[in-house]
Structure 1
Amino acid sequence: MNSSLIFDGAGSGPMLAAAASWDGLAAELNTAAQSFTSITSGLADQAWQGPAAAAMMQTATRYASFLNEATAQAQTASAQAQAVVSAFESAQAATVHPFAVAANHNSFMQLVMSNLFGQNAPAIAAMESDYEQMWAQDVAAMVGYHGGASAAAAGLPSWTTALQGLSGQLSGALTANPAASALTSLDSAASSGPLANVQQNIINAINAPTEFLFGTQLISTGPTPALGGNGTTGNVPISLYANTEALVNASVGTGSAVPLLVDTGSQGLVIPFQKVGGIVGLLQLGLPVSGGISGYSGGLDYAYLTYNAPVNFGGGLTTGATPVDVELFAWPTSLSSALNGGWSFQNFFASDGASGVLGIGPNATGPGPSIPTEHFVNSAFNQGVLINETPTGQYLQFGAPPSGATALTTLSGAPITNDLTVEVTPPGGSTTIYSNVPSIVDTGGVNGTIPSSVNASPGDTIAVYGPNHQELYYYVYNSTYFPTAVSSGELMNTGAAPFINFPAYISNDANTMTFYSSL
């Protein structure tokens, strides 16, 4: 039995892959720590002055220390995984091969079947003696394997202490900050702006211990249930945060349902480890398949491990095991981000009302390896997704394109396309037309961007058209819509505007985005 078990299966391959993943994570963490230390040291020598800057520098130093500690722990995890591989391979080499065991069994049975007059008794005894020696050899190999693997496991570093230290820093910062105590008394103003961020930070600090261990909140955020689906399409409700960003509730692994930012401008699901069931839930996901460091524009980088896990939208809408990037910890990459909640993944996205990001753009470049909504258990749902953010109904519909609806225009490329035309009209002036503007049609882009190659000034009327000169949206620059100006080499980001006006269907297979008049 032991011979069969140790020679069957995947062997040392998965553990070798895990060791390589930990080694890669350690290398990226080390690079991040060095870069982070260099940036903060430079700021301390130049721009960061005064008591607030000193307090920020203390926090930055703690995070840099944590990155260095995490690097060492990842290196140790890689080494211990390699030790387990060595123990396994040594045990396998010391174990009797199943072919030898099978040969012994066959010879024994032939001797027994032909032993009519007892003439084979000595040979049978010899076969039994050989088998006992094989058994003893296997037992010795297993004892050695158990000792080697146990020693490697005992040498694994504890991530729990370090991560709990982060939660303690957050709680300590809130307790020590007199401004936070004063702001909590301003109930009438606590529903928006900076005060809402303070309130969210306090809730995060209260929820941190149980979220860390079990992924359960003491103060619930109360997601709404899904609508469910039939055999060909599946619907889930969405909500709009600040009338610009769509949120959908879903759970990963044993975690509770949490709001995820529906982002056509990215690919893959990224979610904090607290939201997949905490450390306990993370362990239940099994071994990670990869890991590394990634980030989002706006000033946030994060370390992650990738697990294969189901994503549950409720109402029976569940994916198969699909790659999910689980964020372990995050850090700001700019001073602006550091001052506006970029010290944790959840705080960074708190201003969007989201706990994670669901990227559904077929030709977007990461940060995740694949799109979860292409891996439903019901394969009919994998064709595409309809995004309806219009006032008449707010939901996602997975599956085939909507039937009976009037298609207005189809963009080749989703979300990145060259099919948009931009018309700029100054007050009382003539219109300038820009054709085939490189763009990203991005539900998560808020108010979007406008490149300097499109010559526009505040007060100009800007209209954006798809093929067939179908108007998708228009606005008065910096009056009714506020896109951020970017350099000419960057994409124009539409932001939420076209999705507020029209439902849009993304075809995963065709890599297209079709806008409809109504549903």
Structure 2
Amino acid sequence: MSAHRHRLVGAVGAVGAFLMVGAPAPAAQADWDDLFQPLVDAISWVDPGVAADTDPGSALASLDTLFNGWYQDLVYTPLHGIAPWLFGPDVPGSAVAYNPDSTNLPDSFTVPMHVNLNTQPVINVSVGGGAQTEVLVDTGAAGLVMPIWNINPFGITGLPTGFNIGQFGGALNYFYMELPTTVTFTGANGDTLTADTTVDAVLFAFPANFSPFGPWSIESYLAGSSVGILGIGPNALGPTPDHIPTADLPGTLGHGVLIDQPGGKLIFGDNPLEGGTVIPGAPWADLKVSIDGAAPTAVRGVIDSGGVYGTMPSSVLGNVTPNANGTLPDGTTIAVYAKDGTTLLYSYTVGSQSGEVRSPIVVGPSSGMNTGNWLFGQEPVYINYGVPNGQTIIGGTLIQA
């Protein structure tokens, strides 16, 4: 995900996909220093030292300290003080709760996952200690985006760190603020794992083309599949690649995540598989694609678990003529290779398996390719955070102890 997304709501009640390749999303830099600079100028008559300070950073830092003090004294502390009275105290359970302060962190942690609408892998998360919320597991994005009302206000750990506007695939615009908080994952046996991170809290959303019939929320944009998007791709365009909850997990659990869609689970930690195909970059990578057995053509691709049925640039089609609706004809064979053009990553035939394999959407000749979810439905894929821009490791066998 970025400010320019690659997933689009297509026909009513269905989710399609096409790639919107644009400039990277601007970083959310509207911090409190920027927001309150006019106030610094305005109150200089109260505290001449603020305006006269030869180091503006020091002046703004003192103002930040002032506002943080107000926030702690007037908002944070009172709210947290009445939280047990309103909601009742936490009741200890038998399951283990792992957090950044735990001294007994496991080497790996498994979270159940299921697939909605055939192509959307979904898990449950709790933000700020709030209710469980379904989110899409999306390698094509970076950062957790969800409506602000799905975030427990008593679990916000500080002031917002930025404000920004994002966009999903030319279909949905959203205004959000980046909030420091916690994201908690629940394992199959009830154990919990918590990351100190930030979440992009959506204040409001509206259709990008101002159509009254367009999506007005993340949930409607995803055709009711989930209410938020958990972006886990380290070199995705946005919205906040500096804070990916799965990479912010404590200890070795933040080293990477295995998406085992056929097995119905996510596994946090070092890769439990060996012998897979290593692709530099996650999700953006250099790939090659062949249509109907033609010589492979180089493409810049997004290996995207949330990409639905994917996209295909018209420059690689050769003699294949797309349908009027921008899809490829049934019977078209697609083969995707690593950058070397010989290591096959996956292949499929459009319209095979009783219509279960649908076509990618044909996009402009200079656009990138999006794998869609097909690859993830066939074999496990590991996202490695341990190298710059990440790695995508496809397949492999279980490491024997």
Aligned counterparts of 1:329 and 1:417: Cα–Cα separation in 2? 33
Aligned-pair distance for 1:326? 0.8
Match of 2:346 in 1: 472
Match of 1:267 in 2: 142
* Contact kept in structure 2, 1:374 and 1:383, CA below 8 Å: yes
* Post-superposition CA distance 1:363-401 (Å, at most 9, x none): 11101242111111x3111111100011xx111111101
Identity %: 33
In the alignment, structure 1 residue 244 sits paired with structure 2 residue 119: yes
Structure 2 length-normalised TM: 0.68
* Contact kept in structure 1, 2:297 and 2:316, CA below 8 Å: no
Aligned counterparts of 1:514 and 1:387: Cα–Cα separation in 2? 10
Alignment match of 1:375 (pick from 248, 268, 290): 248
CA 1:446–1:302: 2 relative to 1, 3 Å: same
In the alignment, structure 1 residue 461 sits paired with structure 2 residue 355: no
Match of 2:131 in 1: 256
Aligned-pair distance for 1:470? 2.5
* Contact kept in structure 2, 1:383 and 1:507, CA below 8 Å: yes
Count residues in correspondence: 306
Match of 1:407 in 2: 275
Structure 1 length-normalised TM: 0.53
In the alignment, structure 1 residue 417 sits paired with structure 2 residue 285: yes
In the alignment, structure 1 residue 333 sits paired with structure 2 residue 208: yes
Alignment match of 1:276 (pick from 130, 151, 163): 151
* Contact kept in structure 2, 1:263 and 1:358, CA below 8 Å: yes
In the alignment, structure 1 residue 295 sits paired with structure 2 residue 171: no
In the alignment, structure 1 residue 515 sits paired with structure 2 residue 394: yes
Alignment match of 1:443 (pick from 292, 296, 305): 305
Aligned counterparts of 1:271 and 1:244: Cα–Cα separation in 2? 20
Aligned counterparts of 1:319 and 1:227: Cα–Cα separation in 2? 11
Letter in 1 for 2:284: I
SS in 2 for 1:500: helix
Aligned counterparts of 1:375 and 1:85: Cα–Cα separation in 2? 39
CA 1:231–1:293: 2 relative to 1, 3 Å: same
Match of 2:82 in 1: none
CA 1:83–1:414: 2 relative to 1, 3 Å: same
Alignment match of 2:158 (pick from 275, 286, 289): 286
SS in 1 for 2:113: strand
Aligned counterparts of 2:288 and 2:204: Cα–Cα separation in 1? 41
* Contact kept in structure 2, 1:362 and 1:508, CA below 8 Å: yes
Letter in 1 for 2:244: I
* Post-superposition CA distance 1:253-310 (Å, at most 9, x none): 1421201111100111111110003xx448x443211112111114111111111111
Alignment match of 1:397 (pick from 256, 267, 273): 267
Aligned-pair distance for 1:471? 3.9
CA 1:82–1:261: 2 relative to 1, 3 Å: farther
* Contact kept in structure 1, 2:258 and 2:380, CA below 8 Å: yes
* Post-superposition CA distance 1:14-63 (Å, at most 9, x none): xx942624x7xxxxxxxxxxxxxxxxxxxxxxxxxxxxxxxxxxxxxxxx
Match of 1:97 in 2: none
CA 1:299–1:226: 2 relative to 1, 3 Å: farther
Match of 1:113 in 2: none
Aligned CA RMSD, in angstroms, stands at 3.4
Letter in 2 for 1:504: V
Match of 2:79 in 1: none
Gaps of 5+ in 1: 1-15, 24-77, 94-144, 154-213, 216-224, 426-430
Aligned counterparts of 2:368 and 2:347: Cα–Cα separation in 1? 17
Aligned-pair distance for 1:515? 1.1
Aligned counterparts of 1:508 and 1:440: Cα–Cα separation in 2? 16
Aligned counterparts of 1:83 and 1:347: Cα–Cα separation in 2? 43
* Contact kept in structure 2, 1:272 and 1:346, CA below 8 Å: no
Letter in 1 for 2:109: G
Alignment match of 2:216 (pick from 343, 366, 378): 343
Aligned-pair distance for 1:331? 0.9
> Higher relative contact order by CA 8 Å / sep ≥ 6: 1 or 2?
2
Match of 1:428 in 2: none
Alignment match of 1:20 (pick from 23, 34, 58): 34
Letter in 2 for 1:306: E
Gaps of 5+ in 2: 1-29, 52-65, 75-85, 88-94, 99-103, 322-328
* Contact kept in structure 2, 1:407 and 1:517, CA below 8 Å: yes
Q: Report which of the two structures shows the higher radius of gyration computed on alpha carbons.
A: 1
CA 1:439–1:226: 2 relative to 1, 3 Å: farther
SS in 2 for 1:446: coil
Aligned counterparts of 1:513 and 1:465: Cα–Cα separation in 2? 13
* Contact kept in structure 1, 2:313 and 2:368, CA below 8 Å: yes
SS in 2 for 1:397: strand
Q: Within 5 Å, which residues of 2 pair with 1:7-46?
A: 17-18=31-32, 20-21=34-35
